[in-house]
């Protein structure tokens, strides 16, 4: 158990804590209305900070460079090489795929409320796996499931805490061997998005979700 959060405690304070402390804080926020309100107000203040800053007009040269950069990259570009390796596709294809993460039309609702999937084409090395990006709304739990083969999770946005207390955040690459199982809950903040590569699929609700199964 932890005491109430200090006045003004928010996302920037949370980021400097270690994983154990973060888990404790987030668990407390979920059951304490007072601290949840404190954290929410700080998060909203941080999000609104940019709106209060004075506007500046970039030089024509800087504006041209920025527009060129925006037109050729996206905020998930840093993950393209890892995605290419994990799903066995070329780097150009991987850039195209990560570039669609922000495209709402790429996502479909799953039978689990608040969970969405974005299916991906794969190369031969990933043909025996359930593969795709998965998005969870804040606070949503992905149900307990057993891994039928090696499972890899690459977190590209947000974070979660699983049933073992493991905190997963942007940039983390998590590997779990066959026979392991867990559930996980999306942390407060932006949607939790990860690439899942589950060799031989997984067991959930007593059913084996296999590669090619539309429910995966």
Model confidence pLDDT, tens digit, residues 146-161: 999 999 999 999 999 9
Model confidence pLDDT, tens digit, residues 106-149: 999 999 999 999 999 999 999 999 999 999 999 999 999 999 99
Mean pLDDT computed over 164-177: 93
Q: Report the 3 state secondary structure along the chain.
A: CCCCCCCCCCHHHHHCCCHHHHHHHHHHHHHCHHHHHHHHHHHHHHHHHHHHCCCCCCCHHHHHHHHHHHHHCCCCHHHHHHHHHHHCCCHHHHHHHHCCCCCHHHCEECCCCCEEEEECCCCHHHCCEEEEEEEECCCCEEEEEEECCCEEEEEEECEEEECCCCEEECCCEEEECCCCEEEEEECCCCCEEEEEEEECCEEECCEEECCCCCCC
% pLDDT > 70, the chain: 86
pLDDT (0 to 100) of residue 215: 54
pLDDT (0 to 100) of residue 211: 78
Higher per-residue pLDDT: 74 or 202: 202
Chain region(s) in the chain for CATH 2.60.120.10: 75-209
pLDDT (0 to 100) of residue 50: 54
Q: Is 2.60.120.10 the CATH classification of the domain at 75-209?
A: yes
């Amino acid at each position: 158990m932890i005491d109430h959060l200090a006045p003004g405690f928010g996302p920037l304070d949370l980021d400097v804590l270690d994983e154990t402390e973060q888990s404790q804080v987030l668990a407390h926020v979920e059951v304490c209305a007072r601290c949840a309100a404190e954290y929410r107000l700080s998060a909203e203040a941080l999000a609104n900070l940019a709106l209060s800053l004075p506007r500046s007009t970039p030089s024509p040269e800087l504006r041209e460079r920025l527009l060129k950069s925006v037109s050729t990259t996206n905020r998930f570009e840093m993950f393209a090489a890892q995605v290419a390796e994990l799903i066995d596709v070329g780097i150009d294809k991987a850039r195209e795929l990560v570039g669609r993460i922000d495209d709402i039309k790429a996502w479909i609702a799953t039978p689990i409320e608040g969970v969405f999937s974005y299916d991906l084409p794969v190369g031969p090395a990933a043909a025996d796996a359930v593969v795709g990006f998965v998005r969870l709304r804040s606070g949503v739990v992905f149900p307990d499931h057993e891994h039928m083969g090696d499972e890899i999770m690459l977190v590209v946005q947000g974070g979660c805490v699983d049933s073992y207390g493991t905190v997963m955040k942007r940039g983390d690459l998590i590997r779990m061997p066959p026979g392991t199982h867990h559930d996980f809950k999306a942390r407060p903040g932006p949607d939790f998005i990860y690439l899942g590569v589950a060799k031989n699929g997984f067991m959930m609700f007593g059913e084996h979700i296999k590669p090619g199964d539309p429910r995966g």
